[in-house]
Structure 1
Amino acid sequence: MSSSVRIHLSENELPAGVRKNSIVFATSDGYAIAVKDKSEAEKLLVIQKAGRKLEQLGIESVEFAGDDWTKDAQWAFSIGFIDTLNKGDVSFTGDAADELTAMHESFAWVRELVNLPPSEIFPEALCERVVSELSKVGGKAVSHRLVVGPELLAEKRMGIHTVGRASQHPPAMLELDYNPTGNDKAEVDFALIGKGITFDTGGYSIKSSEGMVSMKCDMGGAATVAGALMLAIRQGLNKRVKLILCCAENMIDGSAYKNGDIITYKDGQTVEVVNTDAEGRLVLADGLIRAGELGAKRIIDAATLTGAAQVAVGKEYNALFSVDDSYAEEALATAKKEQENLWRLPLAPWHQFQCPSPFADTANSRPQKGGGTGGASNAAGFLLRFAPNQGAGWLHFDLAAAYHGQSNSLFAAGATATGVRTIASLLNA
C-alpha cells in the first residue's frame, strides 16, 4: 500500500466548512486543489501555491490522483512542493512522466549546486562537479579542459584572473565540449557561458554584511547553463555545444584588484575598474571572447548580474537582453511555452558607450550606486562590446529570478532554477 498522499484537482465548489478562497482542502483520501473557474495560467499558479502549502504541512511524498493532471500542472505542483534541501518525493504520471522526471532531477541538481555553502563550492570544485554530472548524462560525447590560476594569464583570460586572484582558491575557466557528432571538426552550434562567482564580497567596493549573506548564489548563471545542457542532453540533444564557465571568488587581500585598475583583454579592449562589485561582466567578457574564437553559431550567457534587473522585473521574472530581435522573440516565445517568466529589457548598440572612461576604452560601470539609471542595460551593453558578430545570435539572461533569500507563496528559500527549461528548449529547437 502506497504511503504517498493523493492529490486531486477539484473543479467543484468548496465543501462546507472550508474557508472561502481556500486553494487546498483535505479529502477522504488526501487533499484537493480548488481550480474551479480558473484560466489555465491562474490554475497553474494556484497549483504551485498549493504545492508550497502542502510541503509546509510536512508532507513528504505525493502522487497525482485523477485524469486532470497535465504535464504543466504536475510540473507547477512539483516546483512548489520541493523544499530548499530538495526533500519531497513526487511520483509523476502519464505520458510525460519520463520527461518530467528528467526536468525534476535537472532542477534539483541546479538548486543543490546553488544552495551549497561557499566553503564547498569554490571555482575548481564547481567545475569538477559540473564535469562529473554532465559526463554521466553525456558519456563519451563529453570532454573538457580546465584552465586554472596562472594558466589563465598564459591564455590571456584577464577578466577571470583579475577578479579571482586574491582568493586562496584560484580562479578557473571550464570549457566543456558536448559533441555527439563524433567529429572533432564539427561546427559549434551553441556556446553557453555562465557567470561562476562562487562567492562575492564585492571586493574593495565591499558589500554590507546583509548584502553578502546570499552571495553563494552568484554562481547561479554557471549552474543554470550547466543544468540546461544536462536537461537538453536528456531530451535528446544532437548538436555540438561548448559550455564555458567563468569562475572566481571575488575576495580581498593585498593582491586584490582595485578601483582605477585597467584590464587589457585578449581582444585588445581596455577596461577601467570603477567598481570591483561589478565583477560578473568582467569574467563573462572572457567567455564571450572565447565563444568568438570557437566560431559558435549562437551564444547564450546567463548570470546573476545586476540588482538593477531585479528592481525592474522583480524576483518573479528573468530579464532578457539582445540586439538580435528575431532571436529574442524566439526566446520569449520559448519561455512562454516552458512556463517560465522572461521579460525583455532595452539593449541598443549605443548602450556600449554608457560607461565612459578617460583612461580606457570603457569603464566596467558608472561610479554611482548600482551603476546609476539603466544599470542592467548598461551592464548588457558592456557585454555587447565582447559579443562576436556585433551581437547577432547572442542572448544575455540576467537571472533576477534565480534565487530567493526567503521562501514565499511560490518557492522555497534558495535557488529556483528558473531559466533552465527555456535555455534547454532553445538548444533543442
Structure 2
Amino acid sequence: MSNFQVSLSTQSADAIWGEQTKLSFNEKGAVLHLPSEALHLRDIQKSARKVAGLGVKNLAFVGQWDSEQQWAFVMSFCGAGFRGDIQWADDEHAIDLAIRFEALQFTRKLVNETPEDLSPEVLAVAAASWIESIAPDFVSTKMIKGEELIAAGWQGIYEVGRGSCRPPVLLELDFNPTGDANADVEFALVGKGITFDSGGYSIKSSEGMLDMKCDMGGAATVTGALGLAIMKGLEKRTKLFLCCAENLISDHAYKLGDVITYKNGVTVEIVNTDAEGRLVLADGLMAATESGAKKIIDAATLTGAAIMAVGKEFNAVFSLDTAFQQEVLASAVEMNEPHWPLPLMPWHQEQCPSPFAETANSRPMKGGGAGGASNAAGFLSRFVADDGKGWVHIDLAAAYNRNGTEIMPNGASAIGIRTIAAQLLK
C-alpha cells in the first residue's frame, strides 16, 4: 500500500475541508493550505489531527517542508499504538528527523504501557537496555532495589514503593564517552518513575487513578532525552537516575503520619501519601548531587497544580538558578516545545510545615493548597547542593492526554525530550 502523501501550499483551495483545518484532498493524499511562508506549526498540528482521524497509517511528506513543520505534523499525527511508516521529505533533515522519531517513539511507548506490564524493575531495565543499545561501549548501569535501598540510604524510594510486591528500584546509568573513568560528570538527569500511582492511603478517585500509568513520564522523558542526545553525538559524561516505584495500598505501605529521615538528615512527615513523587525524587537528586554533576535537570509528572497553572500544552519550569532556567527556556523556544517559568524562591522550602519533622511532604489539603507546584519544587530544593545552583526542575504538565486534543494525539506527548537533549548538547 502506498503512503498517504501530504504537501504544503500557500495557495487557496477550491474546496477546503473545514474552515479551520486548511486541508484539501487529491488522489494521492492531502494538501495543507497555509496563509504564508511562515511555519504555522499550530495550523499544521490541527491538520495532522484531522488526517490521523481518517485512519491513515503510512505517511509521506512531499514537496518543500521545513524540518520543524514535518516534526509538528508527526508529533500530532502519531498517537498511542502507532505502527505506521513515516517517509520524510527528501532533504538534509531526514536523518535528524529519523533520530528524533526513534526517541519520540521510545518515550511515548514507554509511557503508554499498561501498569501491569511496566513494573518498576521493568521500567529500569527497559530504559537501561535502550541506552545501552545506542552506545554499548560507553554505558554502565547499577540497580539498587527492594531492601537494598535501605542499606544504601535511599529511604524515599523504598518507603513509597514498599507497599507493592514488586520492589522499588533506583537506576543509576553512567554514559561516559570520554574513556576516562575519572572524567567530570557534566550533567545528571533525574526522572520520576512511579509506574502506577493509586495515591496510597490518600487514595485517588477512580477517575483520577485511571491514567496513572503515565506517572513515570519523567523517567521516560529524561531517558528519551539522553538517548536523543547520544544519537546526535553527545560527548559529555552524563548520568541518569531513575526513581522507580509503585505507590500502592497494602499492609506494608507507608502511612500518613510516618516520618522519613533522608540520607542528608532532612526529616519529612507524610501528610499526603499521594505527594509521593517528590519523595522519590529527593533520593534521585541527592544521588545526582553525590555524582558531582555540574548541572542537574529533573523531570516529573509531579503536581496537578502545575496543570492548573499552565494548562496541558506547557511544561512548568522551576529553578533557584535564574541563568540556568533561562538557558532551558531558551532551548525550549528553539525546539518549539512549550515551557513556562513558575515561581520558586528559597522560602518555598518552608511552605509545608510540620510539628513533627523539619518539613511535611505537602500541606494537608486538596492539591496541596495554593502554590502547590512551587511548594513541591521548594521541597525538592532541599536535596540539591549550592543553594540550587545548576539545578532545574521540570513539572511535566504537558506529558499526557487521555483522549487527545485539537493538536496532540491520545497518550504520551514526549514534550521535553528535545529541550533537555539540547541542553546536554550545548
TM-score normalised by the shorter chain: which range applies?
over 0.9
Structure 1's 360 and 79: CA in aligned 2 closer, same or farther, altered over 3 A? same
One of 231, 235, 255 as aligned partner of 1:234: 231
Q: After alignment, is 274-283 or 383-392 more displaced? A: 383-392
In 1: Cα distance, 2:27 partner to 2:142 partner: 57
1:243 aligns with 2:278: no
In 1: Cα distance, 2:369 partner to 2:18 partner: 47
- Tell me the residue number matched to 2:71: 75
Q: After alignment, is 20-29 or 4-13 more displaced? A: 20-29
Q: CA-to-partner distance for each residue in 1:350-379, whole Å, 9 max, x for gaps?
A: 101100111111000001100000000000
- Tell me the residue number matched to 1:180: 177
In 1: Cα distance, 2:147 partner to 2:416 partner: 33
One of 397, 406, 419 as aligned partner of 2:416: 419
**What's the offset of the Cα at 1:92?**
1.1
User: Is contact 2:16-2:24 (8 Å) kept?
Assistant: no
Letter of the structure 2 residue corresponding to residue 353 of structure 1: E
Q: Secondary structure at the match of 1:53?
A: helix
- Tell me the residue number matched to 2:87: 91
Q: CA RMSD for the aligned pairs?
A: 1.2
Letter of the structure 2 residue corresponding to residue 370 of structure 1: G
Structure 1's 150 and 23: CA in aligned 2 closer, same or farther, altered over 3 A? same
User: Is contact 1:55-1:88 (8 Å) kept?
Assistant: no
In 2: Cα distance, 1:48 partner to 1:298 partner: 33
Structure 1's 16 and 223: CA in aligned 2 closer, same or farther, altered over 3 A? closer
Letter of the structure 2 residue corresponding to residue 344 of structure 1: P
In 2: Cα distance, 1:131 partner to 1:83 partner: 24
**What's the offset of the Cα at 1:173?**
0.2
In 1: Cα distance, 2:130 partner to 2:252 partner: 34
In 1: Cα distance, 2:18 partner to 2:169 partner: 55
- Tell me the residue number matched to 2:99: 102
**What's the offset of the Cα at 1:66?**
1.3
User: Is contact 1:323-1:392 (8 Å) kept?
Assistant: yes
In 2: Cα distance, 1:119 partner to 1:55 partner: 28
Q: Secondary structure at the match of 1:260?
A: coil
Q: Which consecutive unaligned segments of at least 5 residues does structure 1 have?
A: none
In 2: Cα distance, 1:413 partner to 1:21 partner: 21
Structure 1's 30 and 371: CA in aligned 2 closer, same or farther, altered over 3 A? same
- Tell me the residue number matched to 1:13: 12
Letter of the structure 2 residue corresponding to residue 24 of structure 1: L
Aligned residues: 425
**What's the offset of the Cα at 1:85?**
0.7
Q: CA-to-partner distance for each residue in 1:199-223, whole Å, 9 max, x for gaps?
A: 0000000001111100000000000
In 1: Cα distance, 2:16 partner to 2:191 partner: 51
Q: CA-to-partner distance for each residue in 1:75-132, whole Å, 9 max, x for gaps?
A: 0111111121123321112101011001011110111000000011011100111111
- Tell me the residue number matched to 1:401: 398
In 2: Cα distance, 1:126 partner to 1:208 partner: 25
In 2: Cα distance, 1:369 partner to 1:278 partner: 11
Structure 1's 18 and 294: CA in aligned 2 closer, same or farther, altered over 3 A? closer
One of 41, 45, 56 as aligned partner of 2:42: 45
Letter of the structure 2 residue corresponding to residue 326 of structure 1: A
1:31 aligns with 2:30: yes
1:342 aligns with 2:339: yes
Q: After alignment, is 82-91 or 19-28 more displaced? A: 19-28
TM-score by length of 2: 0.98
Q: Secondary structure at the match of 1:46?
A: helix
In 2: Cα distance, 1:53 partner to 1:35 partner: 15
Summarize the alignment of residues 27-426 of structure 1 with structure 2, pairs less than 5 Å apart.
Answer: 27-37=26-36, 39-40=38-39, 43-67=40-64, 69-93=65-89, 94-426=91-423
